[in-house]
Chains A and B, each alone.
Chain A
Amino acid sequence: MLPLASILIEVVGKGLPAISLSFLTKSTGNITDPSSGIGNAIEGTLILIGVTCLIAVPVGSFAGIYLAEFGDNKFGRTIRFLNDVLAEFPSIVIGILAFSVVVIAIGHFSAIAGAVALSIIMLPIVTRTTEESIKLVPSSIRDASMALGIRRWRTSLSIVLVTAKDGVITGIMLSIARISGETAPLLMTVLGSGFYFSGLDQPIDALPLRIYSDYKNSNYPSALAQGWGAALILIVLVLSLNLGVRLLTRGRSSFARARA
């Protein structure tokens, strides 16, 4: 509690003075300029989250469905083990991987390379939480569907996944919170940029990268203050995702009622 409270007080206290409409909307330009903004970093983080979700959510949730419904064999156990290993992987190593596969192939840093790196981080989390929430669906629900003559894959997608959707969405939101703070893999893939989005194959900025470059330029008082401002915005983003999860799943007792 105490560390959390002291971080929050520190970040709010030092970050709040930096926040203004122009700070939130203007692009970086020259980072040492006191009127520099973080609009492009916010935009970049949102784009990275969006593209990452487009890759990791379908793949991860299908993998989770597969593991929960058909994963009780040697292949499934192997995949589950590898998935757990991947979830524990240092993110900087994933950054090197995306750098050597995507950045070198394209020839320069790009938003898509960052999204690939972040997807590799997000994928095991989505897979695991999808699998766990699907396993929570009582077998009586699956039985009811199969007994209606609904095919197995239909049962998995239209009955079981729909019943488990609160848990699946929670896992996706939490993994978004996790990737939106990642810095190391982005340093090696999207590089950072002082300008607004100009294409998925171009470098973009992101909030953690902005905080890092502000720190590098912290001998300029304005850059230091803006770093605190960017940190506050990032924390607000992550906390609101977490709170969103809480609100979304609160008071949903459909499982409990189905079991009673």
Chain B
Amino acid sequence: MEKFKIQTEKLNAWFGNNHVLKDLSINIKENEATAIIGPSGCGKSTFIRCLNRMHELVPGAKSSGVVLLDNANVYARGIDPVTVRRRVGMVFQKPNPFPTMSVYDNVAAGLKLNGIRDHQKLDRAVKRSLELAFLWDEVKTQLDKSGTSLSGGQQQRLCIARALAVEPEVILMDEPCSALDPIATAKIEELIASLKDQYTVVIVTHNMQQAARVSDSTAFLYLGQLIEYGETTQLFENPTEELTERYLTGKFG
């Protein structure tokens, strides 16, 4: 039987009075890549930001409902959002390495600032994370250089390595390729495919071809509601909802 890593039940989210997610219930499988697609403003980013409790950091934002991570509600009373965020890492739309830090320090930041000082341990974690992010060979001779001196695609892989260094179980990616050129995009997509072995990946994307290429399951969101969710091949080739079909064929969006 397949295991669900994340399950949401009647998840709702608001920005002020703006109701952006409506009763979203979805089961995300472990060690798969799940794509979230939909037109701009449909709540894709808000949805994944609810999964690691980043949504509540925005002033005026609130949410309700249940998000189960390994069958335990991350919104339960007494759960520290910091521990949730350590288990559910996140990569953002624009590469955002820490501008004052070197490549090494960027990757080590999550560990160092959570109190790990053992140099050997940090060295190992940095090497491992950069290797997982397909970046080690390109930067191993320039670990002391500023993280922002890398190219855009390298910066984004650096951000992925930084997220991996704290050993999360789930990686959320919020349109990770939207600021990158096609070659850098292809590298990230290849990376997502290899990350699935160890992690559960949830990727928000504007690009339907990308969703078709990288994901096992796809969810289509429209105006804050889950319209259709299923295996990627099935959803793309044979959608059951008319709205999904119209979106996929470019009739709106």
Whether a CB of chain A sits under 8 angstroms from the CB of B99 is: yes
CB neighbours of A150 from chain B (8 A): 82, 109-110, 113-114
**A141 close to B99 (CB less than 8 A):** yes
Bitwise interface map of B from 105 to 131 toward A, beta carbon under 8 Å scored 1, else 0 = 000011001100000000000000000
Query: Contacting chain B: which of A48-56, A79-87, A157-165?
Result: A157-165
Q: What is the CA–CA distance of A147 and B51 in the complex, to the nearest angstrom?
A: 11
> Which A101-124 residues sit within 8 Å CB-CB of chain B?
none
**A149 close to B163 (CB less than 8 A):** no
Best-surrounded residue of A138, A163, A254, A258 (most CB of chain B within 10 A): A258
Please give the number of chain A residues whose Cβ is less than 8 angstroms from any Cβ of chain B in the complex.
23
> Which B185-239 residues sit within 8 Å CB-CB of chain A?
none
Measured CB to CB, the nearest residue on chain B to A144 is: B96
Which single member of B59, B90, B94, B113 contacts A72 (CB below 8 Å)?
B59
Which single member of B59, B82, B98, B113 contacts A141 (CB below 8 Å)?
B98
CB neighbours of B149 from chain A (8 A): 257
Measured CB to CB, the nearest residue on chain A to B148 is: A257
Whether a CB of chain A sits under 8 angstroms from the CB of B57 is: yes
CB neighbours of A255 from chain B (8 A): 99
Whether a CB of chain A sits under 8 angstroms from the CB of B146 is: yes
**B86 close to A149 (CB less than 8 A):** yes
Q: What is the CA–CA distance of A176 and B14 in the complex, to the nearest angstrom?
A: 46
Q: What is the CA–CA distance of A145 and B98 in the complex, to the nearest angstrom?
A: 9
CB neighbours of B166 from chain A (8 A): 148-149
**B96 close to A138 (CB less than 8 A):** yes
Whether a CB of chain B sits under 8 angstroms from the CB of A146 is: yes
- Residues A149 and B57 in contact in the complex (CB < 8 Å), given A141-B96, A254-B148: no
> Which A233-260 residues sit within 8 Å CB-CB of chain B?
254-255, 257-258
- Residues A151 and B82 in contact in the complex (CB < 8 Å), given A72-B59, A146-B57: yes
Which single member of B90, B97, B98, B148 contacts A147 (CB below 8 Å)?
B90
Whether a CB of chain A sits under 8 angstroms from the CB of B83 is: yes
**Interface residues of B toward A: which range?**
20 to 34
CB neighbours of A141 from chain B (8 A): 96, 98-99
What is the distance, in angstroms, from A177's C-beta to the closest C-beta of chain B? 25
What is the distance, in angstroms, from B72's C-beta to the closest C-beta of chain A? 16
> Which B54-83 residues sit within 8 Å CB-CB of chain A?
54, 57, 59, 82-83
Q: What is the CA–CA distance of A148 and B149 in the complex, to the nearest angstrom?
A: 22
What is the distance, in angstroms, from A143's C-beta to the closest C-beta of chain B? 6
Q: What is the CA–CA distance of A149 and B87 in the complex, to the nearest angstrom?
A: 8
Whether a CB of chain B sits under 8 angstroms from the CB of A140 is: yes
Which single member of B54, B84, B100, B114 contacts A162 (CB below 8 Å)?
B100
- Residues A148 and B98 in contact in the complex (CB < 8 Å), given A143-B54, A154-B113: no
Whether a CB of chain A sits under 8 angstroms from the CB of B52 is: yes
**A254 close to B54 (CB less than 8 A):** no
Which single member of A145, A147, A163 contacts B100 (CB below 8 Å)?
A163
**B162 close to A148 (CB less than 8 A):** yes
**A149 close to B83 (CB less than 8 A):** yes
Q: What is the CA–CA distance of A129 and B54 in the complex, to the nearest angstrom?
A: 29
Whether a CB of chain A sits under 8 angstroms from the CB of B159 is: yes
Measured CB to CB, the nearest residue on chain A to B106 is: A144
Q: What is the CA–CA distance of A107 and B54 in the complex, to the nearest angstrom?
A: 56
CB neighbours of A144 from chain B (8 A): 92, 96-98, 159, 162
Q: What is the CA–CA distance of A163 and B87 in the complex, to the nearest angstrom?
A: 26
**B163 close to A254 (CB less than 8 A):** no
- Residues A146 and B85 in contact in the complex (CB < 8 Å), given A154-B113, A158-B113: yes
- Residues A258 and B99 in contact in the complex (CB < 8 Å), given A72-B59, A148-B163: yes
Measured CB to CB, the nearest residue on chain A to B109 is: A148
27 contacts between A and B (CB under 8 A): A138-B96, A140-B94, A141-B96, A141-B98, A143-B54, A143-B57, A144-B96, A144-B97, A144-B98, A145-B113, A146-B57, A146-B85, A147-B92, A148-B86, A148-B110, A148-B113, A148-B163, A148-B166, A149-B110, A149-B114, A149-B166, A151-B82, A159-B113, A163-B100, A254-B100, A254-B148, A257-B148
Q: Which residues of A contact B (CB under 8 A)?
A: 72, 138, 140-141, 143-151, 154, 158-159, 162-163, 165, 254-255, 257-258
